[in-house]
Homo-oligomer: A and B are copies of this chain.
C-alpha cells in the first residue's frame, strides 16, 4: 500500500482500515493522544506477551530522568547530565480471554478492523471483529480519551460483544511498575540512548478494591510520580482476583456470557507529578489521585467524552484552516494542528517537545522549534498557550543565567535542548553553539505580544528575558575598530555548517532581539516609571546599557557577497566548495547519516536554509530583489534533510510568486507524518514541521505579514484549491479570512471585549477596512497592470548591428565569429559576449585588453546605431503600446543596454513608455531579475500584475524569476508562459487573455 493511501481521505478523521503488524510503531506515533500534560502513543491495549510492546508509550510532558552524560573526550562546560522524557510504566494494558483463548490479533482471523483518530472529538476509537483459532467470534469496540478539561485523567473504554461461541469472558487489566525506554539504539543522532539504570523506583503501591495507587520516584532526577487506576466494570463483570506481582499487578474480571451479549468496561488512569505540585518533600498526596478518579467515576465516561467534544469544538472554531478542493491535504492540515494542540504544555512548567507527546525521539527535549514554529500558531489562535510556553522560558531563566556564566558570558544563554532548563546537548558544535536560541525566544515574545496585545506579559516576564538575552549578545560579540558588531564562533540553524563567524541568521536575529529589548525597555520606562525603577535596580541595568544594545543592533555586521549580491550564510561560507549533488546517490540522504561532519561542514550544502528563514523572520528589512537572489542561491544547495526546511522554502517561494515551488514544498510538510515522508515517524511526529504547515498557509499562501504593526495579506491560491479559510487572533479581535480564486473576504468573527471593532488591513498593497458586521471582499483576480519591454528583439532588432559590430572586431583580429554564434549572444552582456567569442578562438586577454576590445565593439555598434530610424520599430509594437496606454496598462522599457535611451530617441519613441529603466543603476544583468523587479517597483505595480516581453532565454528567466508573466518572442524565448513567433502577434486582447489564463 502506498503510504499516501493508507488512510481514508476523511477530513476529520485518520482511519486505519486493516490491522497490520508491520506498521505498529509508525501508527503508534500517528495515533498518539494527549492534552499537553499527559500523552499516550497509539499502542494497542492488548497484553504484551501477545504482540510485542514497542509501540506503547505513556508520557508526562517534562517528566524526565537524568543519567551521566558520557564523553570520549570531555571538556570544560560540557553538560554533565543527560535528560530524557520517561516512558512511564504501562497502565493501559487490558487483556481478554474468550474462555481459555486469549484475544490476539496476530492469531485467528481479523474479520473487521477500523481504528480512527477522531480529530473533531478528541478521541481515538477502534472497532474490530475477531474470530479466534477455535472459532469464537467477538466484536471489540474501544475508545481512548485523554481529557483536555481534566489534564490528569485518561479514560479507556471497552465494549465487548460475544457474537458467538464464547461462554466466559475474562478481562485482565494489567498495571506495570517499570519504565521501559524504546528509544532507538541505532546510531541515529536524532534519537537517543536508553538508560543503563532502572530510572523509576516504586516507593509505595496500594491496592484498594478496583483501584491501584502507585507512588514512584526517579532514581537520579529527583522527580516524584503519583498514578492511580480505577476499574469500572459494567454489565455483570465481576472482580474475581487481584494478582500483585512485583513487576505487574493484574486486576481480573470475569463474566458468564451468552451469544449476542455485550459487556462494557471503563478504565480510568490518573497521573500527578512533583513538577506541577509543590507539596513538601515532593510527595504526591494520595487524596489528589483518589479525588481525580472519584470525580471521573461519579461523572461517568459519557460526560467526560461529551466534555471532550465541546472542548474540541472550541479549538477548531479558533484554529481550523479549511482548504476546499483537496481532502487529503485538508486531513493533513487538521492532523497537524490537532497534534500541536495535543502536545503543547499549558502550565508554564513544561513546553512543547520536538516530537510532542508522540514518542521518545529527541528524548522529549524542547528546542527553538517552540518559538519559531509553534508559538506563531498559538499566538494567533490560542494566545494563552503561547503565553504559557513563554512562561516556561521565564521559569528556566535561572538556569540560562548560570549557563551564560559557564560559557564566560554575561546575561543568560538558553539551552539548545533541555527538559528541566539545564543544557542537555551532548555535541556542542550543533548544540550550545546555537546561541541563536536566545534570539528565537525573544522573537517568540515579540510575536506573542504583538498578536495578543498582552503587554502585561512584558512586565511579568518578557522584559526580564529580553534584558538577559541582550546582555548575552553584547558580551558574546564585539565592536571592531570599524565599529561593526560581530559575533564569532556560533552555529546557525543550518547544522550542516558549524562554529562559524557571523552567521547571518544569528546576527540578524540577535539584532532583532537587541532592538526589541530597547523598544520594550523604553516603552515600559515611560509607561510605568515606578515599575521600571524597581526593575532596573533589580536587574542592575547600567546607565547606557540599552543604548549599547541598540548600537550593537544597528551596527550588526551582516555578511554579504558583493560579487554575487547575496547574503553570505557566514564569513567563510562563500569560499567553500559546493556539494556535488550529481555524484551523491539517493541512499546517502540524509547526509548527516551518511557523511562525516567534517565532510559536510567543508561544503556548501544546507540541512535547512537559514538565510532564507532569516529573510522571512526579519522580512521587513530586505528588498524583494535581495530575497530573490538569496532564495535562488540557497535553494539549490538545500537538501531539506531537516523537516524544518520545506515550510520555510514554501513561504518564501510564495512571497516571490513562485507558486509551483511554494505548493510542492508545502505538500512535503502538510502530510509529512501521515505519509511518513522522512521514514522516521516511528520515533514520533514532527512538531515544528506541523507548525510550519500553518505558517505556510497563513504566511505563505495567504501572504500574511505582521512585522512592525501593519497587518498585510498578499494571497496566492494554488490552482487546485477552491478556497483557503482561517481565523486569526488580532489582539482582542478574531479576523476571519476566506480566500478563493475570485475574492478574499475579511470579516470580524468575534471580539473579546465589547465595543466596535475595526481593523485596517493592507491587501496586496491597498488598505482595506473591516468592521464588525461589515466584511470586506477584495478581488483576487490578477489584472495586467504593467508590461515591461526588452528593447532588442522586442521593440527593435539591433541584433544585425550587434552581429556586424562583432564581426568587424572579429575580422580585424582574426577571431572566429559566425551568425550562429551571434544567436547565442542574445541577452548576454558585452564583456560576457566577448568572452564567449574569445573562448571559441582559444584566446585569452588581459583585463585591460578585454575592456578595450569591448569598448571598440561598442563604438562600431554605436556607429551602426546612428543609422537606426523609426521604420526600424518591429511590427505591431507601436499599436501594442498605444492599446496598452488606452487600456490604462503601464509600460516600461527594461533593457540592459546603456545605448537604450539613444536607440529609443532615434526610433522616435521617447514618449511612448511610462518608464525607461536606467541600465547603469542595475547591479546585475539578466538572468538576474533586478531590472524587472525595479521597474515594477518604480511603476508601483506588484510583480504578479506585470508581464515582461523578451526575445532571449536569459530574459525569460529573469522575468520568471521576478514572479511576472513572461511573454517570449521568437525561437530563443519559447520557454515563456506565452510564446509568439513574432511581434506582430502581440495584441492587448491576446495578452490580457493569456495573462488571465495562467
Is the Cβ of A187 less than 8 Å from the Cβ of B74? yes
A563 CB to closest chain B CB, in angstroms? 11
Q: Which residues of B contact A425 (CB under 8 A)?
A: 72-73
Asked whether any CB of chain B lies closer than 8 Å to the CB of A910, the reply is no
Is the Cβ of B426 less than 8 Å from the Cβ of A73? yes
Asked whether any CB of chain B lies closer than 8 Å to the CB of A998, the reply is no
Contacts of A312-343 to chain B: CB distance below 8 A? none
> Which residue in chain B gives the minimum CB-CB distance to A79?
B72
Most buried by B among A74, A76, A78, A601: A76
Query: Assuming A489-B598, A499-B598, is B73 touching A431 (CB within 8 A)?
Result: yes
Is the Cβ of B592 less than 8 Å from the Cβ of A427? no
Asked whether any CB of chain B lies closer than 8 Å to the CB of A501, the reply is yes
Complex-state Cα separation, A834 to B189, whole angstroms: 60
Total number of A residues with any Cβ neighbor in B under 8 Å: 49
Complex-state Cα separation, A18 to B489, whole angstroms: 51
Complex-state Cα separation, A347 to B406, whole angstroms: 47
CB < 8 Å neighbour of A571 from B478, B572, B577, B596: B572
Is the Cβ of B595 less than 8 Å from the Cβ of A76? yes
Is the Cβ of B77 less than 8 Å from the Cβ of A72? no
Is the Cβ of B427 less than 8 Å from the Cβ of A75? yes
Complex-state Cα separation, A72 to B84, whole angstroms: 12
> Which residue in chain B gives the minimum CB-CB distance to A502?
B575
Q: Which residues of B contact A480 (CB under 8 A)?
A: 575
> Which residue in chain B gives the minimum CB-CB distance to A597?
B75
Q: Which residues of B contact A427 (CB under 8 A)?
A: 71-73, 75
Complex-state Cα separation, A428 to B71, whole angstroms: 12
CB < 8 Å neighbour of A429 from B426, B429, B431: B429
Is the Cβ of B596 less than 8 Å from the Cβ of A76? yes
Is the Cβ of A432 less than 8 Å from the Cβ of B598? yes
Asked whether any CB of chain B lies closer than 8 Å to the CB of A82, the reply is yes
Q: Which residues of B contact A189 (CB under 8 A)?
A: 73-75
A124 CB to closest chain B CB, in angstroms? 33
Is the Cβ of B428 less than 8 Å from the Cβ of A577? no
> How would residues 397 to 414 of chain A score, 1 for a CB under 8 Å from any chain B CB and 0 otherwise?
000000000111000000
Contacts of A460-487 to chain B: CB distance below 8 A? 478, 480, 486
Query: Assuming A427-B71, A498-B499, A499-B498, is B488 touching A592 (CB within 8 A)?
Result: no
Asked whether any CB of chain B lies closer than 8 Å to the CB of A522, the reply is no
CB < 8 Å neighbour of A77 from B429, B596, B602: B596
Complex-state Cα separation, A400 to B309, whole angstroms: 64
Asked whether any CB of chain B lies closer than 8 Å to the CB of A98, the reply is no
CB < 8 Å neighbour of A433 from B71, B74, B598: B598
> How would residues 539 to 576 of chain A score, 1 for a CB under 8 Å from any chain B CB and 0 otherwise?
00000000000000000000000000000000110011
Q: In the assembly, how many copies of this chain are there?
A: 2
Q: Which residues of B contact A78 (CB under 8 A)?
A: 596
Is the Cβ of A489 less than 8 Å from the Cβ of B601? yes
Q: Which residues of B contact A433 (CB under 8 A)?
A: 598
Asked whether any CB of chain B lies closer than 8 Å to the CB of A774, the reply is no
Q: Which residues of B contact A407 (CB under 8 A)?
A: 596, 598-599
Q: Which residues of B contact A298 (CB under 8 A)?
A: none
Q: Which residues of B contact A69 (CB under 8 A)?
A: 72
Is the Cβ of B488 less than 8 Å from the Cβ of A577? yes
Complex-state Cα separation, A12 to B499, whole angstroms: 50
Is the Cβ of A595 less than 8 Å from the Cβ of B77? yes
Q: Which residues of B contact A486 (CB under 8 A)?
A: 575
Asked whether any CB of chain B lies closer than 8 Å to the CB of A594, the reply is yes
Asked whether any CB of chain B lies closer than 8 Å to the CB of A109, the reply is no
Q: Which residues of B contact A595 (CB under 8 A)?
A: 76-77, 408
Query: Assuming A189-B73, A189-B75, is B572 touching A406 (CB within 8 A)?
Result: no
A220 CB to closest chain B CB, in angstroms? 16
Query: Assuming A407-B599, A432-B596, is B501 touching A575 (CB within 8 A)?
Result: yes
Contacts of A491-507 to chain B: CB distance below 8 A? 498-499, 501
CB < 8 Å neighbour of A602 from B73, B488, B598, B599: B488
A614 CB to closest chain B CB, in angstroms? 21
Q: Which residues of B contact A72 (CB under 8 A)?
A: 69-71, 79, 82, 425-427
Complex-state Cα separation, A486 to B574, whole angstroms: 13
Asked whether any CB of chain B lies closer than 8 Å to the CB of A992, the reply is no
Asked whether any CB of chain B lies closer than 8 Å to the CB of A243, the reply is no
Complex-state Cα separation, A77 to B588, whole angstroms: 13
Is the Cβ of B601 less than 8 Å from the Cβ of A499? yes
A765 CB to closest chain B CB, in angstroms? 42
Most buried by B among A429, A431, A593: A429
Complex-state Cα separation, A595 to B76, whole angstroms: 6
> Which residue in chain B gives the minimum CB-CB distance to A408?
B599
A65 CB to closest chain B CB, in angstroms? 15
A896 CB to closest chain B CB, in angstroms? 24
Is the Cβ of A75 less than 8 Å from the Cβ of B596? yes
Most buried by B among A189, A489, A571, A599: A489
CB < 8 Å neighbour of A76 from B79, B426, B432, B593: B593
Is the Cβ of A575 less than 8 Å from the Cβ of B76? no
Contacts of A601-631 to chain B: CB distance below 8 A? 601-602
Is the Cβ of B73 less than 8 Å from the Cβ of A594? no
Q: Which residues of B contact A77 (CB under 8 A)?
A: 595-597, 599
> Which residue in chain B gives the minimum CB-CB distance to A571?
B572
Q: Which residues of B contact A70 (CB under 8 A)?
A: 70-72
A742 CB to closest chain B CB, in angstroms? 52
Q: Which residues of B contact A428 (CB under 8 A)?
A: 596-598
Complex-state Cα separation, A890 to B601, whole angstroms: 57
> Which residue in chain B gives the minimum CB-CB distance to A501?
B572
Q: Which residues of B contact A488 (CB under 8 A)?
A: 572, 575-577, 602
> How would residues 725 to 757 of chain A score, 1 for a CB under 8 Å from any chain B CB and 0 otherwise?
000000000000000000000000000000000
> Which residue in chain B gives the minimum CB-CB distance to A433?
B598
Instruction: List, sorted by A's number, 30 A–B pairs whose CB atoms are closer than 8 Å.
Output: A69-B72, A70-B70, A71-B427, A72-B425, A72-B426, A72-B427, A73-B189, A73-B426, A73-B427, A74-B187, A75-B189, A75-B596, A76-B597, A77-B596, A77-B597, A407-B596, A407-B599, A429-B499, A432-B596, A478-B577, A488-B572, A488-B575, A488-B576, A488-B602, A489-B576, A489-B598, A498-B499, A499-B499, A501-B572, A501-B575
Query: Closest 7 interchain pairs by CB?
Result: A72-B426, A77-B596, A73-B427, A489-B602, A70-B70, A408-B599, A73-B189
